[in-house]
Structures are given as C-alpha cells and as structure tokens.
Amino acid sequence: MNESPSQFRAPVGTHDVLGRQSALWEGLIGTFATLAYRYGFSLVITPLFEDVGVFNRGIGETSEVASKEMYVFTDRGDRTLALRPEGTASVVRAFVQHQPPTPWKAWYVTPAFRYERPQAGRYRQHHQLGVEVLGTDDPAVDVEVIALAWRFYAAIGLQRVRLLINSMGHDECRGRYVALLVTHLGEHEALLCDEHRQTWSANPLRVLDCKRPGCRAVTESGPMLPDHLCDDCRAHFDRVVDGLERLGIQSTLTPRLVRGFDYYTRTTFEFVADALDGAQNAIGGGGRYDKLAEQLGGPATSGIGFGSGIERLLLAREAEGVDGSLVNRTPDVFVVDTTGTDAATLYADQLRVAGLSVQRAYDNRSMKAQMKVADRSGARFAVLVGPTELASSQVTIRDLRSGEVSQTQRSVARDELVSVMLDLVTKK
Ligand code: HAM
C-alpha cells in the first residue's frame, strides 16, 4: 500500500492493522476464540487502564516492565493510572472484584503497552491472546492450559515451536533457593555484567535470565531452582510434565526460565518459534500465580494462564512460510448497478439477509469502473442491473472467474435472484 506523507502517523512502536493483515488477524483471533470455547473458556473484557497499584503489586514494582516500561499517567481527577502492560493482573483484579464461581476460565484478546525500544517483534503497543484459570491448583489445569496454547499454534500452521518449562516453586522453597543464589552471586559479584553487578541483590533471579557472558558463567556454576524444590512443588511439576507427555507434548526443562513478573509460582513456561530470530522468538509465555489474587486483596486463590503475542505469531507464520489467512474474506457476490436507482441497495440487502457476503460500488460510477472494483474484490459472481434489466424485472448473473462471458452469464427473473445465487454460491 502507498503511504502518504501526512503530518500524523501511528506513534513509534505502534502500527495500524488493515488490508491483507486484517484478514490474518481475524483468522488468528477467530481460531483462538473457537479453541478457547472448546476448552471451556469464556471471554473477559477489562478496562485498558487500571489503578497503577494493580500492576505494581501484581507484576512487581521492581520488575523491568513496571519500573521502566509502564505508561503511567494522572487523570483529570488526580488518580494515578497505568495502561495495561499485560493481561493477567487486570483479569485477576476483575476476579477479586466480582468473585465469579470457580474454577473461573476466562480468555481475552487485548492490546498491551510497554515503553520498549521498538524493533522487529518488539513494540510499544502489542496484542495478546490469552487465557487465565482461577480457583484450582490441580496440575491437570496446567496441562490443559499449555495444551490449549500448543494446539492453537498447530491450528494456525506453526510447526517449529518448542515448549520450555520450569518450576519457580512456592514462597518457601523459592525463598530457600534465592538465599543460596544470593550467596553464590555475592561470591562472584565481580564477574557479573555491568547492569547486574549493580542490581543483583534487589532481584537475584533476574541474573539467571541474563545472556551476557559474565552472568552466564557465574550462574552456570551456581545453584538451579529445580534442584531445590520442596516435595510438593516437585510432585506438582512432575505431574505437569508427565501429563503433557501423555498428550504427546514434549517440553524442555529450562532452569533459567524465571520470566519477567514477580507473580509467578510453580509452573512457568514459554513457547519459542525456532523460525524467528533468538531475541524475539518467544511467541507465548505464562505460568502459575498462586498468590496473585491475595496480593490484589482477594481470598487465597490459585491461578494459571498464558499470553501469546499476535504480532509475533504472524511473524513466525511468515518465517515458516505458512500460507493463508485462516478465514476467507472475499465476497460471494458483487452487485453492479448502472440504473441510478436504489436497486443495488435493495438486492444487496436481500442477498445479505439470505446469508451471502455482498459488496457493491457507490457514487453511480460507470459500468467499466464498477466491474473493475468487482474484479478487484475477488467476488466469484457479479449481479448486473442496468436500465434493460430494470425494465424487464430481470438481473444478469456473471461468473467472474471463468473467462467466456457467453458461457458464464445468464439472465434470471428478479424474484429468483436470491434462490439462484444461494444455489450457485453453495455449489461453487
Ligand atoms: P509476557 O511473556 O510478557 O507474558 O508476554 C506474552 C507474550 O506477548 C510474549 O511471549 C510475546 O509473544 C508477546 N510480547 C510481549 N511483549 C511484547 C512486545 N513488546 N512486542 C511484541 N510482543 C510482545 C505476559 O504478558 C503474561 N501476562 C502471560 C501470562 C498470562 N502469564 C500468566 N497468564
């Protein structure tokens, strides 16, 4: 599409979705909605902004996202609000507020806002498809949530996806592990990267995530979380991994996978697309957050979910060479009206009421101009109505995809238009 040099453009790190992209988005969202329904989830919609405390408490004030990337603003009533940087904290806030019966299974599609350094696959407004389940810590739910994501990736044509999995343990066993890690990092502080030499004591788990050689070397020789899980957390984790295996879903134990938010407990996971560049290859991620509802002022309630970035899913499809938009968005019929009357409005309405997808031209353009638009629309059939047809209460139907006009064009009585068109479209 041609871009005009107009004064206003979408802000840096954001983009508009239109043209061919819009059918791809619709296909992805539709496929996810269908699967979510199959797995027993219903749609939840929460506000795009919340009291900043929802995110500070939820994802952790010292997390990278809350401390450096959140869009925080004061409204005209002097409230401090933040644009949602992710979906989970808002959904759990809504759960605490409304206390729906549990297990509560909700899915969402939402923009998320993070002040990041924009690059391919990393945006300031991205969009996530996700689910959350509240009210059970049954490992079967972990399996189900991960399986939903896995089946979704397969349904949209991705084949080169790997599942990385870890357990963060619960407060106590993680606490014991963090104490060991702190001792280890303290002993090797001088070798850490510049950033983590300053910050490791405030957030020691982050160092595990760091890919710089210094931090890598230090953590490689240090303690790893899965070796320090308590018996309950270990048993939970084993049941998740075994359960996935029974469904034919292979996971790779990844002890460094600590994820970026403070709310995670026990199972954490990420899906990486091998067709994408390493830095931005996470197409989805999630985990358990058994303390989050309490942290947001509710009763103790376990939870688990995942979010998947729509933009990255589309990049992964493109990188894998997956064709097709998952939905057909070409019209069935294009009505060409050169009578100067409201015939096109009337016929299009009748055909649409009958269930067909119909496009038409506007502004009384010439037959040639309208036919050009009809061809461009990809419609299979054109319904032509000019002065001659109008006078004889007929319409002409033309098959736009076969070459020979004489063989593909026929006149039908105006009253039969809907039934003939339905017949033709369902047979095509
Ligand atoms: P997250 O890993 O931060 O987790 O984001 C989920 C997914 O959103 C990522 O795997 C990636 O595909 C996409 N994503 C994240 N940031 C960006 C960005 N700046 N540009 C493009 N895509 C991005 C969460 O947000 C958690 N709420 C997931 C969750 C749900 N955990 C439990 N329930």
Please report, for residues 49, 62, 82, 85, the alpha-carbon distance to residue 71 in angstroms, rounded to integers and kept in the order given: 9, 15, 5, 8
Is there an atom of ligand 1 within 6 Å of 130 CB? yes
61 CA to centre of ligand 1 in angstroms: 17
The closest-lying atom of ligand 1 relative to the alpha carbon of residue 89 is 27
Cα–Cα dist 182/269, whole Å: 24
Identify which of 419, 413, 412, 388 has the alpha carbon closest to the alpha carbon of residue 398: 412
The predicted pLDDT at position 325 comes to 85
The predicted pLDDT at position 243 comes to 98
Residue pair 257/265 in contact by the 8 Å Cβ criterion: no
Alpha helix stretches (DSSP H) within 247-323: 292-295, 310-320
The predicted pLDDT at position 428 comes to 63
Is there an atom of ligand 1 within 6 Å of 139 CB? no
- Cβ atoms within 10 Å of 126's Cβ, excluding its own: 22
Cα–Cα dist 210/388, whole Å: 75
38 CA to centre of ligand 1 in angstroms: 23
In sequence order, the β-bridge partners of residue 125 are: 113
Is there an atom of ligand 1 within 6 Å of 266 CB? no
The predicted pLDDT at position 175 comes to 94
In sequence order, the β-bridge partners of residue 338 are: none
**Residue 5: cis peptide before it, omega within 30 degrees of 0:** no
- Cβ atoms within 10 Å of 110's Cβ, excluding its own: 20
Please tell me the residue having the least CA distance from ligand 1 atom 8.
309
Q: Which residues contact 334 (CB under 8 A, 6 or more apart)?
A: 358, 359, 360, 373, 374, 377, 379, 381, 382, 383, 400
- pTM of the full predicted structure? 0.94
Q: Which residues contact 23 (CB under 8 A, 6 or more apart)?
A: 325, 327, 329
The predicted pLDDT at position 5 comes to 72
Q: Which listed CATH number (3.40.50.150, 3.40.50.720, 3.30.565.40, 3.40.50.800) goes with 333-427?
A: 3.40.50.800
Task: Give the fold, CATH level 3, of 11-170+230-320.
Answer: BirA Bifunctional Protein; domain 2 (3.30.930)
Is there an atom of ligand 1 within 6 Å of 288 CB? no
Domain-wise residue ranges, the chain: 11-170+230-320, 333-427
Is there an atom of ligand 1 within 6 Å of 218 CB? no
- Angle at Cα 208 formed by Cα 205 and Cα 213, nearest 5°? 145
The predicted pLDDT at position 408 comes to 75
Task: Return averaged pLDDT per consecutive 10 residues of the chain, 428 residues in all.
Answer: 80 95 96 98 98 96 92 98 98 98 98 96 98 98 98 98 97 94 95 91 89 92 94 98 98 94 96 93 98 97 98 97 90 97 97 98 95 95 96 96 72 97 89
Is there an atom of ligand 1 within 6 Å of 84 CB? no
112 CA to centre of ligand 1 in angstroms: 8
Complete DSSP assignment for 141-170 = HHHHHHHHHHHHHHHTT---EEEEEEE---
